[in-house]
């Protein structure tokens, strides 16, 4: 008896499933098609992204290891092209090359390139590192307000680069002889829980040496 009931229940479930698929066959086909197309687009996009990165890697490395084969202006244009292609690793490396070799004089352009590289970085700490590098580059060119504007996302985070941002601002104010502000930023460093021991020791030494009244 129990076996008969189980068979009836199983047949009922099978029948319900068949009815469901018959009534919703179009919706199911459309849904599966959408999923398939979305997956196809994802894999195609990912493959194109990989190829683009490989192409830029070849271009960047080709320049780096064969600089004597290019004119400076040609190197500059190729590096700018890599920056504008917005491919995280190589766009950042190309920007650093432009800066280190003083190939771009326009400070507004350099700021624009930094912002491009910052915007495309998916890695949180890499993004914070680039923010710090931008602030470091402009630390002797920008006003207090503009420098803080760059560093605020870093200073207000729990990033490992926070201590470096605070140290940069402490040094900035110290050079400006604004010692109270400088001391305030140095003290914030000593309060961090994830501070580099060497940085903590150096900052504490400076606080005792330069601000101990």
- State the CATH class of domain 125-213: mainly alpha
**CA separation, residue 189 to residues 43, 167, 194, 196 (Å):** 45, 7, 10, 10
What lies within 8 Å, CB to CB, of 187 at 6+ separation is: 207
157 contact partners, CB below 8 Å, separation of at least 6: 128
pLDDT at 92 over 80: yes
CB 32 within 8 A of CB 47: no
pLDDT band at 68 (very low <50, low <70, confident <90, very high): confident
Instruction: Please determine, for residue 146, whether its predicted confidence score (pLDDT) is greater than 50.
Output: yes
pLDDT at residue 63 in the model: 87
- With 70 as the cut, is the pLDDT of residue 17 above it? no
Q: Which residues contact 119 (CB under 8 A, 6 or more apart)?
A: 86
pLDDT band at 60 (very low <50, low <70, confident <90, very high): confident
Task: Give residue 123's pLDDT.
Answer: 86
The average pLDDT across 99-106 equals: 93
CA–CA dist 45, 109 (Å, integer): 29
Say if residue 118's pLDDT is above 90.
yes
The secondary structure of the chain in percent helix, strand, coil, rounded to multiples of 5, reads 80, 0, 20
Q: Mean pLDDT throughout 181-210? A: 91
Per-residue confidence (pLDDT) for residue 8, from 0 to 100: 45
Q: What is the Rg, in whole angstroms, of the alpha carbon atoms belonging to the chain?
A: 29
Handedness of CA 125, 131, 134, 139 (dihedral sign): negative
Q: How much is the mean pLDDT over the chain? A: 83
Range 88-100 average pLDDT:
91
- Does 134 have pLDDT greater than 90? yes
**Residues comprising the chain, all counted:** 213
**Six-digit token string for 122:** 């998916």
Q: Which residues contact 211 (CB under 8 A, 6 or more apart)?
A: 179, 182, 183, 186
Least confident of 53-62, 83-92, 132-141: 53-62
pLDDT of residue 128 exceeding 80, the answer is: yes
Q: Looking at the predicted structure, is the pLDDT value of residue 38 above 70?
A: no
Q: In the chain, what are the domain boundaries? A: 1-122, 125-213
**Cα–Cα distance, 44 to 107 (Å, whole number):** 38
Please determine, for residue 20, whether its predicted confidence score (pLDDT) is greater than 90.
no
> How is residue 76 written in tokens?
């500059």
Cα 139 from Cα 175, distance rounded (Å)? 11
Q: Is the pLDDT of residue 44 over 80?
A: no
C-alpha neighbours within 13 Å on the C-beta side of residue 180: 0
């Amino acid at each position: 008896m129990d076996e008969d009931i189980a068979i009836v229940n199983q047949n009922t479930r099978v029948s319900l499933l068949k009815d469901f698929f018959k009534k919703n066959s179009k919706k199911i086909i459309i849904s599966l098609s959408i999923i398939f197309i979305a997956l196809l687009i994802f894999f195609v996009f990912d493959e194109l992204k990989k190829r683009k990165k490989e192409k830029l890697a070849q271009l960047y490395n080709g320049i780096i290891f064969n600089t004597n084969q290019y004119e400076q202006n040609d190197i500059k244009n190729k590096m700018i092209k890599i920056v504008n292609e917005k491919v995280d690793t190589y766009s950042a490396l190309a920007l650093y090359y432009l800066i280190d070799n003083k190939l771009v004089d326009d400070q507004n352009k350099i700021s624009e390139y930094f912002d491009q590289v910052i915007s495309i970085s998916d890695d949180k700490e890499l993004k914070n590192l680039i923010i710090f590098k931008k602030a470091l580059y402009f630390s002797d060119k920008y006003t207090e307000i503009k420098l803080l504007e760059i560093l605020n996302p870093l200073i207000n985070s729990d990033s490992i680069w926070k201590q470096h941002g605070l140290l940069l601002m402490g040094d900035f104010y110290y050079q400006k002889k604004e010692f109270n502000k400088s001391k305030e930023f140095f003290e914030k460093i000593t309060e961090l829980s994830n501070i580099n021991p060497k940085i903590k020791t150096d900052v504490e030494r400076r606080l005792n040496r330069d601000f101990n009244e």
